[in-house]
Every structure is written in C-alpha cells, then in structure tokens.
C-alpha cells in the first residue's frame, strides 16, 4: 500500500474528527442538523466551483452516462447516510449511533470484494475487528446496548451503508478518469440539492452573515471539515484499497473524542484510552504488507 496516499486517508479522518468543533457552535446558534449539512454542502459546492474556475475549467465536464457516480456520492451517500444517522440519534444514544455508523468499513470491504475484486485477507479482517472493538470502547456503547430496537439497528446500519457508498461510487468515478476536484464538486452539488428539502436556507444565511466572526467560522468549517478532507480522501483512494481506506479513516471518532477531552473538558475513561489504542493498532495493521497472506474467500 502506498504510504503517502494512506497518509492522505489518515489526514481526511483527522479533519473529519474536528467537525464537532464547528457543529457545536452552530447548534448553539439555533441551526438544526439539516441546516448544518446544507450549509456544509452549499459552501463546499461554491468553494469547489471557485477552485475549478481557477485551476482548470475543463474539470467541470462530466459525461452524462457517468452522472450516476456523482448521484451515488452525493445523494445515496451524503444525503442518505445523514438522513439515517440523524434519525438514529433521535432513537438511541450518540454512542450507539456512532457504532452503527462505523459498520461502514465492513460494508466497504464486502462491496469492494464483489465490485472491485479486492481480496478479503486475514490482516484486513483482524484490523476490522480491532477497529470495531476499539470504537465500542471509545464510545462506551456497551452499557447502552439494551436500548436498541430492531428498527434502530436497521436505520443505524443504513447510515453505515450510506457512509460506505462514498468510497464505492468515488472509486467508480476515479476509474472513469475523473479528478478528485470534479468528484468533490458534483458530490456536494447533488448533496446540497438533496438536503435543501430539509434545511432552512434563509435562517442559515441570516446566522452565517450576522457578523464577521460567523463568516470566518463558516469558511473554516467548509475548508477543514469538507473541502480538504474529501479531496485528500479521494486522492488517497487512487492507491489505497477501499477496505483499508475505510479502516484508516476510522481515526475520525478517535480524534473527535480527543477534541472533546481537549476543548470541552470531557473526561476520558480507561475504556476510552484502550479503545483509542485498538483503533490505532488497526490502522497500523492496515499498513502491513499482505501480499503473501492467503485471501479469505467471501
């Protein structure tokens, strides 16, 4: 596996893990979850449009027969996983919702094995198990297991599937020769259109433009949590298998937990520390060469 591109995936996960630093202030200002998702998609679309205009206008071009790739990353991934995830957090605890969301690496591995013939090797499966176990400890989900219902599980798994689909549709777009800038632009263009059905654009505009501090917060939000991580993640997918990329990106909840400790004075437990170490171990295992390992059949 290309270490540099694995680093891009890791950077994306780290930046995604910082999202709470922006979401909490917007929540305090009265914006709903859908308002925040729409704001993120809209500002990303505008930002990427400016980048493409300056960098290379030809990157706006896509073939009509390939539009399904971007509908996949934008609607079936971004919008669908947010719809399921936000519904999930109203039905159960945040920790349970997070664990069900991060079933996504398993979905990525299985779908990639079928669609892209990626091998399910023993190191991958061990890394997946370590990652999932680590996230259980990080979120403290064990004590909340009794609150789960069949409906909550299915909706949570829907969030995990939707989250996984970005890697799948993004890989298809890359194989068709599209630049990571193009993929990011059309992903959030369609995501913005989809989330506009649930958001309040006028309320969002009033909040964001209230003062210069809010404007700067919005710019930082879109750059740190969306534009940069999605671009580098998509670049990383060019040389990192989908399954490994999904596990490496699972550093996101670990970073989110560390930000909670550092900035919001949340107290870590022994389980949290153990969970972080397990996730880091899984990421390290993904960098171990498995060329000589025997693949496990699906």
Digit-coded pLDDT (tens) for 237-279: 999 999 999 999 989 888 888 888 888 787 777 888 888 889 8
How many structural domains compose the chain? 1
**pLDDT for 89 beyond 50:** yes
Instruction: Report the pLDDT value the prediction gives residue 163, as an integer from 0 to 100.
Output: 93
Instruction: Report the pLDDT value the prediction gives residue 276, as an integer from 0 to 100.
Output: 86
**pLDDT for 296 beyond 70:** no
What is the tens place of the pLDDT at every residue in 134-176? Answer: 888 877 766 555 556 788 888 989 999 999 999 999 999 999 9
Task: Please list, in sequence order, all residues whose beta carbon lies within 8 angstroms of the beta carbon of residue 77, skipping any fewer than 6 positions away.
Answer: 162, 163, 164, 165, 166, 169, 187
Structure tokens at 106: 């398993």
What is the tens place of the pLDDT at every residue in 34-58? Answer: 899 899 999 999 999 999 999 999 9
Instruction: Report the pLDDT value the prediction gives residue 94, as an integer from 0 to 100.
Output: 64
- Confidence (pTM): 0.85
Task: Please list, in sequence order, all residues whose beta carbon lies within 8 angstroms of the beta carbon of residue 144, skipping any fewer than 6 positions away.
Answer: 92, 93, 95, 96
State percent of the chain over pLDDT 90: 55
Instruction: Report the pLDDT value the prediction gives residue 294, as an integer from 0 to 100.
Output: 37
Question: Taking the CB of residue 67, how many other CB atoms lie within 10 A of it?
Answer: 12
Q: What is the mean pLDDT of residues 95-109?
A: 83
Domain with 243 in it:
3-296
- Contact in structure between 165 and 73 (CB atoms under 8 Å): yes
Structure tokens at 47: 């930002």
Instruction: Report the pLDDT value the prediction gives residue 83, as an integer from 0 to 100.
Output: 87
Backbone angles phi, psi at 12, to 5 degrees: -60, -45
* Element housing 121 (H / E): strand 120-121
Instruction: Report the pLDDT value the prediction gives residue 141, as an integer from 0 to 100.
Output: 65
**Helix axis angle, 20-28 relative to 251-263, nearest 10°?**
60
Radius of gyration of the chain (CA): 19
Burial of 32 (0-12, 13-18, 19+ CB in 10 A): middle
Task: Name the residue with tokens 């798994």.
Answer: 157
Instruction: Report the pLDDT value the prediction gives residue 77, as an integer from 0 to 100.
Output: 95
**CA atoms of 37 and 191, how far apart (whole Å):** 9
**CA atoms of 166 and 81, how far apart (whole Å):** 10
Instruction: Report the pLDDT value the prediction gives residue 112, as an integer from 0 to 100.
Output: 94
* Confidence grade of residue 179 (pLDDT, cut at 50, 70, 90): very high
- Contact in structure between 227 and 184 (CB atoms under 8 Å): yes
Q: Which one has a higher pLDDT value, 232 or 33?
A: 232
Q: Cα dist. 71→170, 181, 197 in Å?
A: 10, 16, 16
């Amino acid at each position: 596996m290309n270490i540099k591109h694995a680093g891009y995936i890791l950077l994306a996960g780290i930046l995604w893990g910082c999202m709470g630093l922006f979401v909490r202030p917007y929540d305090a200002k009265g914006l709903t979850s859908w308002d925040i998702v729409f704001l993120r998609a809209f500002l990303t679309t505008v930002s990427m449009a400016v980048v493409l205009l300056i960098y290379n206008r030809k990157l706006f071009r896509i073939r009509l027969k390939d539009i399904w790739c971007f509908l996949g990353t934008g609607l079936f991934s971004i919008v669908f996983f947010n719809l399921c995830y936000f519904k999930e957090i109203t039905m159960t605890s945040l920790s349970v919702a997070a664990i069900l969301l991060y079933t996504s690496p398993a979905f990525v591995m299985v779908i990639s094995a079928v669609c892209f013939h990626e091998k399910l090797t023993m190191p991958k499966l061990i890394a997946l198990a370590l990652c999932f176990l680590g996230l259980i400890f990080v979120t403290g989900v064990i004590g909340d297991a009794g609150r789960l219902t069949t409906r909550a599980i299915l909706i949570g798994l829907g969030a995990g599937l939707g989250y996984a689909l970005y890697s799948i549709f993004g890989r298809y777009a890359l194989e068709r020769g599209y630049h990571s800038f193009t993929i990011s632009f059309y992903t959030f263009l369609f995501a913005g259109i989809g989330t506009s059905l649930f958001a309040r654009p006028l309320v969002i505009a009033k909040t964001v433009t209230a003062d210069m501090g809010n404007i700067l917060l919005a710019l930082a939000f879109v750059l740190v949590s969306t534009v940069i991580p999605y671009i580098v993640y998509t670049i990383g997918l060019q040389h990192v298998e989908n399954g490994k990329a999904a596990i490496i990106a699972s550093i996101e909840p670990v970073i989110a937990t560390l930000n909670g400790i550092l900035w919001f004075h949340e107290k870590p437990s022994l389980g949290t520390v153990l969970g972080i170490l397990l996730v880091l171990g899984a990421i390290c295992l993904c960098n171990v060469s498995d060329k000589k390992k025997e693949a496990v059949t699906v």
